[in-house]
Amino acid sequence: MPLYPKNTAPAIDLALFRAPTAEYRGTPFWSWNCKLDRARLLEQIEHLKAMGMGGFHMHSRVGLATEYLGPEFMGHVKACVAKAKQEDMLAWLYDEDRWPSGAAGGIVTKDPQHRAKQLVWTIADRLDGKDELHHSGPATLIARHGVTMQGGRMAGYRRLADGEGARAGETVWHAYLRTTVRNSWYNNYTYLDTLSKPAVEAFIRSTHEKYRAEVGAD
């Protein structure tokens, strides 16, 4: 079903222009950033209606003290969707705790295999307490290359076997696979490995499919 079916009208409806229906009105990001209270949420929807808004985006933000995607949280979502229908408004879902989308507030990245990873190239041949890599998450050496430079640019490279040294004119560069460290922004987990199909599927199951099960019919 199209969101703006009235757009197909052959001419501008001046009455609609003067008093637009919900889909043509503002729908602000509604920050959920405290311990959620059902009565307060429903009251705020009434305030949004009185201010002329056509709907709202339920957006979990810093400070949320109700378990994200937990039973109480989902109960509030369902109540707000029902209230929006009652008020002839549009209720929009936001698919993440804060942003960017992917980690489901750390739910998905509790599993270490789903955590964001980085490939880091460096001339460092070991990691110690002073090394930047040491402070950016566990790192595993996966390859060594002999690199030649010319005029400040790479002129050539070759993969080195275990224990093989550099030839004359080469510098050994090391490739480390690094998993990002835990971060309070992701509720003390990490961002998602968005290049991993299983990780993205886990995010969809934990968020999109859960919302569809609860309010998909609306």
| Fold designation for 5-99 | Transcription Regulator spoIIAA (3.30.750)
**Average per-residue pLDDT in the chain?**
93
The C-alpha atoms of residue 199 and residue 154 are separated, in whole angstroms, by 34
Domain with CATH 3.30.750 in the chain: 5-99
Q: Which tokens hold the place of 140?
A: 């595993």
Number of H helices, E strands in the chain: 5, 7
Is pLDDT larger for residue 120 or for residue 53?
53
The C-alpha atoms of residue 39 and residue 33 are separated, in whole angstroms, by 16
State which H helix or E strand residue 123 sits in.
none
Give the pTM: 0.84
- From 50, 24, 188, select the one nearest 107 (Cα to Cα): 188
pLDDT for 59-103, tens place per residue?
999 999 999 999 999 999 999 999 999 999 999 999 999 999 999
Whether the predicted pLDDT of 134 surpasses 90: no
